Amino acid sequence: MLEKTFTVTHTHRVLFTRGVFQPDNATLRDLLTGAREDGQVTKCVAFVDSAVEAAHPGLLLSLEEYAAANPDVFTWAFPPIVLTGGEACKNDFNLMLECWQVINDSMLDRHSFVLVIGGGAVLDLVCFAAATAHRGIRHIRFPTTTLSQGDGGVGVKNGVNFFGKKNWIGSFAVPYAVVNDFAFLDTLHVREKRCGLIEALKVALIRDAEFYHWIENNVAALASLDTAALEEAVRRSAALHVDHITTSGDPFEQGSARPLDFGHWAAHKLEQVSNFSILHGEAVAIGMAVDLFYSALSGLLDYATAMRVIGLIEQLGFATYSEQLLSHSSGSEPVILEGLEEFREHLGGQLTVTLVPEIGRKIEVHEMDHAHIISALEALRDRAVQAQAPQPVAEEYVMDL
C-alpha cells in the first residue's frame, strides 16, 4: 500500500466596508490586483440577487462603472446576471444549469472570478456552481443580509436542495474573499434584518460568554435594530464563525460534530414543514429554544439559565414557539422529530447534537430523548400561550434585501 499525507493551506479573508462598488472604494480593486502574479486583466462574472437589484436600482450601473474605472485590473466577461433569490432558488436546478451556462459562455478559467451579490440562498447556489465548474473557479461573496454577513456567507459550505432535503447537493469551497458591505443592510426588511441576531446569539452561547453578555447588555439597541449595535453584532458573529472554521481542526466537517448548527436540527425541519414561510433565523430561534428547554428538562443545563436565554431570544424580537412544532403527519409523533433522523443522515451516520451546558460552552450528545423533546415543545407552547408571544407569520414572504 502506498499512503502519503499532504497539507493544503487556505486563506480565509473577510473584509468590512461600505459602498464597495463606489469608484473610490479600493476594497475589490485591491483584492483582484493581489490575486494575479502575472499582472494580467482578470475576467469576472457577477451574479446578483433579484431582491438586491430591486432594492438598489443603481447597482448594475455601479458594477459597470467600477469596471470602467479599473480597466487595468478586471473586466466583465458577461453582463451581470440577475437571479431570483430566496430559498426557492435552491429548489430550482434549472438555475444551477443557468449559472454553469453563463460560466461556460463567458469562457472563464481557474484564474477568473465569479462574484455573487445576495442573500444566503443565492450565495449557496452560485458558489456551488463556481466550485464545480472547471473543478473550482475562485469566487468572492458579497453577502447582503445580516444572516449571511455574520454566519452563512462567511462559511466555506455551499449547496442546493434536492430530494426535498436542505443542502443535499453541495461542496466545501473556501471563497477567495468575503466582502461584508454594511450598506446592503440599510434596505433590509425588518424581519430579515433581525434574523442575523439569532446566529450571533447562537455562536456566543457555544463559544464566547463575553459576547453573550454584550448581547444582553445591548438587547434594547439590538431589538430596535440600531445601526451601530447591529453592525457590531455582525462583526463579532462573523469573527467567531471564521475562528471556528479556521481553528476547529475540521473545517470541511469530516467528523460528525456540527457545533455551529446548535438549534438547527429542529430549525431545518421547521422551515420545511412551514414551506419556508418561517425564515431561517426565526426557525433557528425556535430550534434553540427547543434545545435549551430540552437541556433543562434533561438536567444538562440549569433551569434558570435556560429561561434566561429563552427570555433573551424573545427580547430580541423572536418567537420561541410555532404551532408546526406539534403538528403530526401520518405517525403518532410530531413531524418535527423527523428532523433528528434527517440531521443524522446529513451528519454521515452518527447523530451528534450540540447542546449548551453553560453560557459560552458546548457539548455534543449522540442521543435525544423523544419524550423530553415533546415535553419541551409542550412547555414552549404553554409559555407562548401564557405570554401571548408573537409567532412567525405563516404566509408567503418575499425578502427585501
Question: DSSP assignment, residue 114?
Answer: E
Three-state SS at 162: strand
Residue numbers of the domain that contains 18: 14-187
Answer for the pair 150, 178: CB distance below 8 angstroms, yes or no.
no
**pLDDT profile of the chain (401 residues), mean per 10:** 87 94 95 84 95 95 96 94 89 91 95 94 94 94 95 89 83 94 95 95 96 98 97 96 81 63 91 89 96 96 97 97 88 86 75 94 92 95 81 49 40
Q: Which residues contact 133 (CB under 8 A, 6 or more apart)?
A: 100, 103, 104, 108
pLDDT for the residue numbered 341? 85
pLDDT for the residue numbered 391? 61
Same domain, 281 and 204: yes
Same domain, 165 and 217: no
pLDDT digits (tens, 9 = 90+) for 227-267: 999 999 999 999 999 998 888 766 766 654 566 789 999 99
Beta bridge partners of 4: none
Same domain, 80 and 117: yes
Same domain, 41 and 90: yes
Same domain, 219 and 176: no
The CA-atom distances, in angstroms, between 313 and each of 19, 213, 290, 329, 389 are 31, 13, 12, 29, 12
Structurally, the chain folds into a number of domains equal to 2
Among 162, 187, 212, residue at a domain's last position: 187
Q: Is 283 a member of any domain?
A: yes
The DSSP secondary structure of 207-274, one letter per residue, reads H-HHHHHHHHHTHHHHHTT-HHHHHHHHHHHHHHHHHHHHHSS-TT--SS--GGGTTHHHHHHHHHHT
Among 129, 161, 187, residue at a domain's last position: 187
Task: Quote the CA–CA distance of 47 and 68 in Å, as a whole number.
Answer: 18
Q: Is 24 a member of any domain?
A: yes
The CATH number of residue 127's host domain is: 3.40.50.1970
Same domain, 70 and 157: yes
Same domain, 205 and 253: yes
pLDDT for the residue numbered 85? 87
Q: Which long-range contacts (CB under 8 A, 24 or more apart) does 249-255 make?
A: 251/10, 251/156, 251/172, 251/174, 252/156, 252/172, 253/157, 253/172
Same domain, 169 and 197: no
pLDDT for the residue numbered 106? 95
Q: Is 393 a member of any domain?
A: no
* b/e burial code for range 142-169 (CB count within 10 A of at least 16 → b): bbbbbbbbbbbbbbbbbbbbeeeebbeb
pLDDT for the residue numbered 398? 44
Q: Is 85 a member of any domain?
A: yes
Same domain, 223 and 181: no
Same domain, 128 and 262: no
Question: CB atoms < 10 A from the CB of 40, how many?
Answer: 11
Q: Is 1 a member of any domain?
A: no
- The helix (run of H) or strand (run of E) holding residue 127 is helix 120-132
pLDDT for the residue numbered 397? 41
Same domain, 195 and 93: no
Residues in the chain: 401
Same domain, 211 and 325: yes
List strand residue ranges (DSSP E) for 2-95, in order.
14-17, 42-49, 74-76, 81-83
Among 139, 165, 187, residue at a domain's last position: 187
Q: Is 206 a member of any domain?
A: yes
Burial group, residue 254, by CB count within 10 angstroms (0-12, 13-18, 19+): exposed
Q: Is 5 a member of any domain?
A: no
Q: Is 6 a member of any domain?
A: no
Beta bridge partners of 162: 165
- The helix (run of H) or strand (run of E) holding residue 311 is helix 303-315
The CATH number of residue 269's host domain is: 1.20.1090.10
